[in-house]
Amino acid sequence: MVSLLDIIGPVMVGPSSSHTAGACRIGLFARALAGGQPGSARVELHGSFARTGVGHGTDRAIVGGLLGFQPDDERLRASLELAREAGLDVSFANTTLRGEHHPNTARLTLTRGDRTIAVTGSSIGAGRISITGIDGYPVEITGALPTLVFVAPDVPGIVAAATSALAGESANIATMRVSRRRKGGEAIHVYELDSAPSDGAVEAIRALGVRMVRAVPRVA
């Protein structure tokens, strides 16, 4: 079914919903996953983003997202200058990512304090996004719902413990995906929720001994 959003696009600073609104939301998601504004960011542009992104404002849109600007924020146009003022060091490169990726894809490697995180995301049209990779783990995140992301030991019972902890804090799970690189190592858990998790829900997950936990607000 074609929605009105697909026809007229989102409210945004132009010129392109794919190259600006979607790109901005990729930056917003990555910023939240990093825990706030990073100190440095390496932005690698793939496919159409690499070929025409600068002309369409993709670079400014991604950086605007990293600064916390929404797609309709007029400051997107000046985001590169504002990033320097805010102490955000950004570098850009064109790349060809391995495997199958949407033409409008970027990989963002962010450093904040002593933590570095890599996020791969695609702008799939009408301002919508698909986050497809976090630190090398395959994921499927739309950003349309509040999302809880954490990395935990790949051991029996961890999913049951996590879902029980969230249920105890009245957090309702809409979708759930768990991915691992190898058996017995670590796995990334992605839980899209009906509403933003409470501080208690986040702490309940942290108490399970996870390595990293982030509550990411909806960005789409």
Domains and CATH numbers, the chain: 4-135 (3.30.1330.90), 147-216 (3.30.70.260)
pLDDT digits (tens, 9 = 90+) for 108-166: 999 999 999 999 999 999 899 999 999 999 999 999 999 999 999 999 999 999 999 99
pLDDT digits (tens, 9 = 90+) for 50-82: 998 888 899 999 999 999 999 999 999 999 999
Per-residue pLDDT at 3: 47
Separation in Å, CA 4 to CA 9, 19, 125, 208: 8, 19, 13, 43
Q: Are 97 and 53 in contact (CB under 8 A)?
A: no
| Mean of pLDDT values over 171-198 | 95
Per-residue pLDDT at 17: 59
CA dihedral 140, 135, 64, 84 (to 10 degrees): 180
Per-residue pLDDT at 158: 95
Per-residue pLDDT at 2: 39
The 10 Å Cβ neighbour count of residue 142 is 18
Mean pLDDT of the chain: 91
Is the pTM above the cut of 0.85? yes
- Residue identified by tokens 């994921």 is 139
Q: Are 30 and 36 in contact (CB under 8 A)?
A: no
Per-residue pLDDT at 55: 85
Using pLDDT thresholds of 50, 70 and 90, give the confidence band for residue 19. confident
Q: Is pLDDT above 80 for 9?
A: no
CA 150 to chain centre: 13
Q: What's 172's DSSP letter?
A: P
| Between 5 and 34, the higher pLDDT residue | 34
Q: Please spell the DSSP secondary structure of 180-197, one letter per residue.
A: ESSTTSEEEEEEEESSPP
